[in-house]
């Protein structure tokens, strides 16, 4: 998004032509429809005459979920052993009033962490507090690491400053254009067709029309532009600021990994946009004539809030996984990641805990356009002791375009298991709406949704069985793909372990064969 927006400033003429957009819900289509979708209709056709025989529970570890969304409310998991709002831990699991899940980044007083720092920032702050200005007291190993992190943080801040400097002017022009168009249309809603048909009465209207249509030609809405400016401002004020520390809101010691019982029961929190989009892909009610159709039919979403705007903390990730496992989730979707993990040992223990109990972990590979065989992306199935978790699926993002792989997606011949649709995914928006979204964050729940579908129709399958079926039934597109990150053409099969894309129909076919029917 940032690259596209900056390009509007530096080379608008080159981007004036609108790009083709895929149909809404392309990710569910069959390849014969011209898109590398998952063939969801084909999967349900194979299940015709059958009914789900159990309800699958998918835990969404994320920023929170809008549990009141009309296309999702009926699919939210409810802890039947907990009495809502009575202030008592009725089921004795250590979490009071956890009716729909738990919030590990909230305080007992009802407040929430919304913005947090990045892990690089936290490590810089830790070294500064440990050694202060006296670097002579630092060990050689610490000093090397500290200097590396300081340089990385400075580079990140520099990029944010440059981006904000460029986009701030565009945002201001866009605000002026919006004000002008709102006046022209009398406050009524308008779209690109309406703006294009406008006959400007003056220079201001002509400029507003040009700005609006230029953004639209590049699939950028004013809302997305303003959100990007807000994100960059947040990075400088919070994410990349070593002096910012919101953790006192939670009231725990974030380095005490033995502490599991903290937080509050508000699973939506103040910013559930990301988690709502993720949950919608998996579980939006099918066939109700509103919103979108999710992938799984008989599924419940357990909400575990652990991801702020900034990097998630390892303690919260570990506890979120354990909470999901202990409370009956069969699949855990993790659409988050980072490059530094000081508490990896605690997260590894939680991953092993989930593996021992047969719970499938589905993780987004990340959006840096990097080879994660060479660049760390945590959490990871590769554990600190050199072993690998057998209950893990790492998911790259496929594009609707002929490039096959989304340009932003991470990849890895050993580190990424398969690709699933993750670009221009039509899903749910907080407040009852719908919107398009991009990222491996959307590709992961496409896989989690198919896993839930298989679990609900084939109760004899374990989540680990489902992992094997999904990985072994991928569709391998012919020809070459654009290597994400601008690396030129490469065989698509080289970008992941399986070399393929998720195929829901093939997965159902494999499950039917395994079931002998």
CATH code for the domain in which residue 456 is found: 3.40.50.200
User: Taking the model in full, what pTM does it have?
Assistant: 0.91
Q: What is the tens place of the pLDDT at every residue in 309-342? A: 999 999 999 999 999 999 999 999 999 999 999 9
User: 426 in a domain, yes or no?
Assistant: yes
User: 413 in a domain, yes or no?
Assistant: yes
**In this structure, are 396 and 458 located in the same domain?**
yes
**In this structure, are 296 and 168 located in the same domain?**
no
User: 207 in a domain, yes or no?
Assistant: yes
Listed residues 180, 215, 239: the one ending a domain: 239
**In this structure, are 195 and 234 located in the same domain?**
yes
Angle between helices 504-515 and 440-457 in degrees, nearest 10: 30
pLDDT at 20: 67
Residues 284/291, Cβ–Cβ less than 8 Å: yes
**In this structure, are 313 and 394 located in the same domain?**
yes
User: 88 in a domain, yes or no?
Assistant: yes
Domain count, the chain: 2
Q: What is the tens place of the pLDDT at every residue in 194-239? A: 999 999 999 999 999 999 999 998 888 898 899 999 999 999 999 9
Query: Left, alpha or beta for 167 (phi > 0: left; psi -120 to 50: alpha)?
Result: alpha
Domain that holds residue 212: 121-239
Q: What is the 3-state secondary structure (H, E, C) of 430-441?
A: CCCEEEEECCHH
Residue 459 CA to chain centroid, in angstroms? Answer: 28
Listed residues 180, 213, 239: the one ending a domain: 239
**In this structure, are 79 and 188 located in the same domain?**
no
Q: What is the tens place of the pLDDT at every residue in 484-510? A: 998 789 999 999 999 999 999 999 999
Residues 246/48, Cβ–Cβ less than 8 Å: no
3-state helix, strand, coil split of the chain in percent (to 5) is 40, 15, 45
How far is residue 59's CA from residue 334's CA, in Å, rounded to a whole number? 9
Question: pLDDT > 70: what percent of the chain?
Answer: 96
User: 164 in a domain, yes or no?
Assistant: yes
Listed residues 187, 217, 239: the one ending a domain: 239
Residue 15 scores a pLDDT above 80? no
User: 16 in a domain, yes or no?
Assistant: no
How far, in Å, are 9, 99, 159, 189, 308 from residue 96 at the CA level? 51, 9, 43, 44, 22
**In this structure, are 198 and 303 located in the same domain?**
no
User: 27 in a domain, yes or no?
Assistant: no
**In this structure, are 412 and 487 located in the same domain?**
yes
pLDDT at 224: 87
Q: Within the chain, what is the greatest distance between any pair of CA atoms? A: 73
């Amino acid at each position: 998004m940032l690259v596209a927006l900056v390009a509007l400033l530096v080379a608008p003429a080159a981007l004036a032509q609108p790009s083709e957009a895929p149909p809404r819900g392309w990710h569910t289509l069959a390849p014969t429809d011209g898109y590398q979708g998952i063939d969801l209709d084909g999967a349900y056709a194979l299940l015709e005459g059958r009914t789900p025989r159990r309800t699958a529970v998918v835990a969404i570890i994320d920023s929170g979920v809008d549990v009141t969304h009309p296309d999702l409310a009926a699919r939210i998991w409810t802890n039947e052993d907990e009495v809502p709002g009575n202030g008592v831990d009725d089921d004795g699991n250590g979490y009071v009033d956890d009716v729909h899940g738990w919030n590990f980044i909230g305080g007992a007083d009802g407040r929430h962490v919304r913005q947090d720092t990045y892990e690089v920032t936290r490590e810089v702050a830790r070294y500064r507090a440990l050694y202060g200005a006296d670097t002579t007291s630092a060990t050689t190993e610490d000093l090397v690491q500290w200097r590396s992190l300081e340089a990385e943080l400075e580079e990140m801040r520099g990029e944010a400053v440059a981006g904000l400097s460029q986009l701030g002017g565009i945002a201001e022009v866009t605000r002026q254009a919006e004000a002008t168009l709102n006046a022209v249309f009398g406050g009524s809603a308008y779209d690109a067709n309406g703006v294009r048909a406008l006959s400007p009465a003056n220079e201001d209207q002509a400029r507003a029309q040009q700005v609006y249509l230029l953004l639209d030609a590049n699939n950028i809405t004013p809302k997305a532009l303003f959100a990007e400016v807000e994100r960059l401002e947040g990075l400088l004020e919070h994410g990349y600021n070593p002096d910012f520390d919101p953790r006192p809101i939670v009231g725990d010691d974030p380095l005490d990994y033995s502490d599991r019982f903290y937080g509050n029961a508000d699973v939506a929190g103040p910013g559930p946009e990301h988690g709502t989009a993720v949950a919608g892909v998996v579980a939006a009610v099918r066939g109700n004539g509103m919103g979108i159709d999710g992938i799984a039919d008989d599924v419940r979403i357990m909400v575990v809030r652990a991801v702020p705007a900034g990097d998630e903390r390892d303690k919260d990730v570990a506890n979120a996984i354990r909470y999901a496992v202990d409370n009956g989730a069969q699949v855990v979707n993790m659409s988050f990641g980072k490059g530094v993990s000081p508490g990896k040992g605690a997260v590894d223990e939680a991953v092993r805990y989930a593996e021992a109990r047969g719970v499938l972990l589905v993780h987004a590979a990340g959006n840096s356009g990097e080879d994660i065989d060479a660049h760390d992306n945590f959490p990871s199935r590769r554990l600190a002791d050199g072993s690998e978790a057998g209950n893990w699926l790492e998911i790259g993002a496929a594009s609707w375009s002929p490039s096959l792989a989304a340009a932003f997606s991470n990849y890895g011949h050993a580190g990424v298991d398969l690709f699933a649709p993750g670009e221009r995914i039509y899903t749910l928006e907080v407040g009852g709406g719908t919107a398009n979204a991009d990222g491996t964050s959307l590709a992961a729940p496409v896989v989690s949704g198919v896993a839930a579908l298989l679990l609900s129709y084939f109760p004899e399958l374990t989540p680990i069985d489902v992992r094997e079926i999904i990985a072994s039934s991928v569709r391998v597109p012919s020809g070459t793909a654009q290597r994400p990150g601008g690396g030129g053409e490469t065989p698509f099969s080289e970008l992941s372990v399986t070399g393929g894309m998720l195929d829901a129909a093939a997965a159902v076919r494999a499950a039917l064969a395994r079931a002998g029917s």
